[in-house]
Structure 1
Amino acid sequence: MKTIQSGIIGELTQDKNFEHWWKSELIEIPLLNNKKVEIAFIDFIPEIDTDFIKEADEALKVFLEKSKYEKTLLTPLLFKHCMKYRNAIGSDQVNQNLWKIKDENKIWDFISGEHIIVTRSHGKKEMIYVNLNCECEWDKEHGLQILYKKGQKLTRISEQDGDISEVDFYKNTEKSKTFSINKQWWQFWK
């Protein structure tokens, strides 16, 4: 089994089923109250993308410095995301405890960080993104992803849809300029 070395998270081992995926041991994530999760570098071919590890390490260094302060910035956005989903779906299909939330800080009781993906976007600039994938009580089928460009700038809060950046989501840079992290997937059908 092949391995690669990250200066930030240590050794990553090539996945048995997906040759372009590399997985770390469990790593403490300050943003998740030091919960240990796996970090994966995906769509990465070491022989071709020789800058990936360096850029991923830079992004992870920034991302892993995020802690309680970042959590306070995320809280109202996550709460808003949940409430929009909850209101769009209706009371019979959503955990009833979500209807009782009055304090937006309680939203974290309904979110569980599962793993982190580090990958490149597929747009012209091919930026590195850190994708925090979570389970959430309001959308058990699609979950929740919190995306950071270069590990630093929050660019998207959405369901886990496999798209890394706005460009990937729209496959068109003109349309991506109108994308907002406040726009949710179910709003596109209205």
Structure 2
Amino acid sequence: MTGTLIQPPFGVLEWDNHLGWWRSKPLSVPLFDGQLASITVDPEAPDDSDAPISRDVLEAAAAFFSLTPAALAEIEPHVWQEYIDMRDVVGEDCPEIERKDLWKNVKLNGISIDRRDADALVYVNIECNCTWEPEHGLQLVLQNGVRWVRVSDYSGHLTDGDSYACPALDTWMSDPSAKLPVRSRDETFALLAKYKR
């Protein structure tokens, strides 16, 4: 299958036959001060470029593109904790970063918009490179393009519960007003031990 689709807010989308998804040309992303990234969008039916992009995917994308860098303030404590966790593991090989310079050490790499099987909601999955974790980078995830639900090294999983096969880690998400908890890796592992007894 081949094809091109013009679809706001993505502009021109090209069908990738090999990977089975739509891919945009590099777009300016307001959340990251205009850094450029391609966006991939899974079709509603796998390997079907004729399937239209659903309304909720377009709404999540539009919401995401309306975010400014100010929206990163909510997850700065989470990103800082990711840095601290890596520094604790790596020691002196980890670059010294001051908190005020945290975002200067993060660069946007790519974005995918995916539907999660567990709840059928749309997630904007942001992949970044960062100086303190060059191998796995940094993953930032927004539910419906507006609600932060995950900050971690990049695994591709959309929630911590999915990543660790422990749905209890995601119970906070059932409250629409709840914010993503800041957890160190040690705290996450302690919760896993508690939930998986």
Q: Normalising to structure 2: TM-score of the pair?
A: 0.79
Cα 1:52–1:187, aligned 2, differ >3 Å: closer, same or farther? same
Q: Does 2:69 align with 1:74?
A: no
Q: Does 2:153 align with 1:152?
A: no
Q: Normalising to structure 1: TM-score of the pair?
A: 0.81
Superposed counterparts of 1:76-115, under 5 Å: 76-92=77-93, 94-95=94-95, 99=96, 101-102=97-98, 104-115=99-110
Superposed counterparts of 1:17-166, under 5 Å: 17-19=18-20, 21-42=21-42, 44-45=44-45, 52-92=53-93, 94-95=94-95, 99=96, 101-102=97-98, 104-123=99-118, 125-166=119-160
Shift of 1:164: 1.4
Residue identity matched to 1:41: V
Q: Quote the Cα distance in structure 1 between the aligned partners of 2:90 and 2:44.
A: 37
Q: Is 107-116 or 6-15 further displaced after alignment?
A: 6-15
C-alpha RMSD over aligned residues = 2.9
DSSP-derived class of the 1:157 partner: strand
1:61-86 deviations in Å (ceiling 9; x for gaps): 11111113213333332122211221
Identity %: 23
Q: Quote the Cα distance in structure 2 between the aligned partners of 1:126 and 1:171.
A: 17
Q: Quote the Cα distance in structure 1 between the aligned partners of 2:181 and 2:73.
A: 20
| Cα pair 1:6 1:53 within 8 Å, conserved | no
Gaps of 5+ in 2: 173-179
| Cα pair 2:160 2:170 within 8 Å, conserved | yes
The number of aligned residues is 182
DSSP-derived class of the 2:38 partner: strand
